[in-house]
Amino acid sequence: MTEPAVIPVKNNSRTRFLLLLVSLLALMVLEPFLFDYTRLKFLLDIFISIILFTSIYAVSEKRSSTLVAIILALPKFGTIWAQGFITHPLLTFFDSIFGFIFIGYIIVLILKYIFRQENVTLETIYGAIAVYILIGLVWVFLYNLTELLHPGSFSLAAVIDAESKKSLYFFSFVTLTTLGYGDITPVSGPARSLAMLEAIVGQMYIAVLIARLVGIHISQGLLKK
Domain that holds residue 40: 3-224
Handedness of CA 7, 115, 64, 20 (dihedral sign): negative
Q: What CATH number corresponds to the domain at position 140?
A: 1.10.287.70
Beta bridge pairs of residue 186: 154
d(CA 202, CA 121): 22
What is the rounded average pLDDT of the residues 138-163? 78
Residue 215 C-beta-side C-alpha neighbours within 13 Å: 9
19 touches 130 (CB < 8 A) = no
Q: What is the dihedral of CA 144, 146, 152, 154, to 10 degrees?
A: -70
Terminal C-alpha separation, the chain = 33
Of the candidates 166, 133, 49, 145, the one whose C-alpha atom is nearest the C-alpha of residue 100 is: 145
- Quickly state the pLDDT bin for 3 (edges 50, 70, 90): very low
157 touches 164 (CB < 8 A) = yes
Task: Name the pTM for this structure.
Answer: 0.85
Beta bridge pairs of residue 154: 186
183 touches 156 (CB < 8 A) = yes
Q: What is the pLDDT of residues 179-225, one digit of tens each?
A: 878 778 899 999 999 999 999 999 999 888 877 777 776 776 656 65
98 touches 79 (CB < 8 A) = yes
Count the domains in the chain: 1
Tell me what pLDDT residue 213 has: 78
- Torsions phi, psi for 149 (to 5 deg): -80, -30
157 pLDDT more than 50: no
d(CA 121, CA 15): 12
d(CA 118, CA 56): 24
9 pLDDT more than 60: no
d(CA 172, CA 186): 11
Cβ neighbour number for residue 109 with a 10 Å cutoff? 22
Cβ neighbour number for residue 179 with a 10 Å cutoff? 10
30 residue type, one letter: L
Tell me what pLDDT residue 8 has: 39
27 touches 55 (CB < 8 A) = no
- Quickly state the pLDDT bin for 97 (edges 50, 70, 90): very high
